[in-house]
Amino acid sequence: MTNAVKSFDAAEIRKDFPILRQLVHGHPLAYLDNAASAQKPRAVIDAISRFYSSDYSNIHRGVHALSERSTRLYEQGRVQVQRFLGAADAHEIVFTRGTTEGINLVAQTWGRRNIGAGDEILITALEHHSNIVPWQMLCEERGARLRVAPVNDRGEVEKFEFTERTKLLAMAHISNVLGTILPVREVAAAAHARGITVLVDGAQAAPHMKVDVRELDCDFYVFSSHKLYGPTGVGVLYGKSALLEAMPPYQGGGDMIRTVTFEKTTYNTPPYKFEAGTPDIAGVVGLAAAIDYVNEIGIDNIGGYEHELLGYATRELEKIDGLRIIGTARRKAAVISFVLEGIHPHDAGTILDRYGVAVRTGHHCAQPLMDWFGIPATTRASFAFYNTREDVDALVRAIHKAKEMFA
């Protein structure tokens, strides 16, 4: 264990998260469903409450004090996201409702302009449905083909095969099911050498590791606020300026326009032409507060601590007879999916909940990956920097209780 990890005080950090203080069915809450959605620190809760209490108004067009304050906070949030991702300009940051909408935005704007009959879109077998279905819909509409880079038994993508017809590579940065970390920078470089555009689903990566979109050299990067300890309903699409400039609007309405007549409408510049209507202003304020909170702790400190916790959890779970971990990639984030012999994941999750342990069960919006492993579902424990070894121990004890019930 490194000195930095030794000095990381997760027990102290837990005090910043009011929801973690409660008992569930008489047991201390061990919240291990962070890949689905992370909990919110007091700093985020207070920032949203303060905004609604003293600053709220609609943005951009008002000339009164509240509107100017709201606009300033909203656009400051954009700058904070830009810096968090290492983007070159704040205008490369588009606010969406989440990762899913960001991917759909690219599919319906960039995709319709650049994907034609016979073209190919390459994804991986690790993808969340949100990085599968929009491309299936686009391929069906445009007469294109969706190709899939397979995974090995460890849950790693060993080879990305591009062809002359490959126009887009859409890949996860980290698998939400297995925790596999994909080599985005190297694969993006190989794709760009062939003129292929690259989109990265960073929903699982942004909360757990440093992301620098210019270093990765991806063309698009998407993530969600609610996994980064911010509020739900807000997401981010990063896109290189030249691509955003060339893309048509996604939706029509207020704030994405420059001029409107009954004969013709001219559109605003990016990112505003992709943000039709009143946005989730308070959500952006909350996301900005979450980024400040993560930055204060340090994303490298977070990643180092979570890696140590993953190692401890893996060793403890491997001691349990009849438990098999699905996904053993050499580069892996703090996610463990597993199956228990003779116990359906839904039953396992229900029993674990009775002991205060919150995990996710099911196919995790990755049915094709479940099919590849020949299983209907898994139980998934996913960790955050506020989790402790005591949470892992509670998980292990609850699994033994489940095994006793099914013995």
Active site residues: 365
Q: 3-state class of 222 per DSSP?
A: strand
265-267 and 235-239: which strand pairing? unpaired
Phi, psi (5° rounding) for residue 360? -110, 140
Token pair belonging to 69: 């304050």
How much of the chain is helix, strand and coil, in % rounded to 5?
45, 20, 40
Return the sign of the alpha-carbon dihedral for residues 1, 296, 228, 223.
Answer: negative
Q: 3-state class of 205 per DSSP?
A: coil
Of 63, 37, 26, nearest in space to 225 by CA: 37
116 Rama class: left (phi>0) / alpha (psi -120 to 50) / beta = beta
Return d(Cα 134, Cα 111) in angstroms, integer. Answer: 10
Residues 6+ apart with CB under 8 A from 202: 99, 173, 174, 211, 221, 222, 223
Give kind and range of the element (H or E) at residue 52.
none
